[in-house]
Amino acid sequence: MMSGFRQFILRGNVIDLAVAVVIGGAFGAVVTALVKDILTPLIGAFVGTPDFSAITLTVNGSQFLIGDFVNALVAFVLISAAVYYAVVVPVNAITARRNRGQAPPDPTTKKCPECLSEVAIAARRCAFCTSPLA
């Protein structure tokens, strides 16, 4: 049982995932600090409140922390943009460059001329409208 666990832990995917979680947590802390310490006061200067995270709304004694929500929203947008531009775009470019010389795979489906649904290449009738296919 221990040898199976050891093989599982030492697989590349598990180690890569662990490294990604640690780096993601550290990156999230950096972005949160950026939002809290730089962007929040900048936005607060336009709103007129020096501390944007202190903006609240009180209804019947319940306090809604609108500023904290906006901080979290800005942090989410920044983290999403950074992950997209730092990870997704380069990986897509590398994949496209690697597949540049390869022929595209043969299609496995075709469109029905009557209802325009996708049907298997070998089909003789459409599964959706039952019209005969050429």
Q: What is the mean pLDDT of residues 4-8?
A: 76
Task: Please enumerate in sequence order all residues whose Cβ is within 8 A of that of 8, keeping only pairs 6 or more positions apart, or say none.
Answer: 14
Main-chain dihedrals φ then ψ at residue 58, nearest 5 degrees: -110, 125
Average pLDDT, the chain: 83
Classify domain 2-102 at the CATH superfamily level: Large-conductance mechanosensitive channel, MscL; domain 1 (1.10.1200.120)
Instruction: Give the DSSP H or E segment for 67.
Output: helix 66-83
d(CA 72, CA 31): 10
d(CA 94, CA 109): 28
pLDDT in tens, 85-129: 888 899 889 988 988 888 888 889 999 998 999 999 999 999 889
d(CA 17, CA 34): 25
Q: CATH 1.10.1200.120 in the chain: give the residue spans.
A: 2-102
Q: What global pTM score does this model have? A: 0.53
d(CA 70, CA 2): 47
- Asked if 67 and 52 touch (Cβ cutoff 8 Å), the reply is yes
d(CA 63, CA 79): 28
- Asked if 119 and 107 touch (Cβ cutoff 8 Å), the reply is no
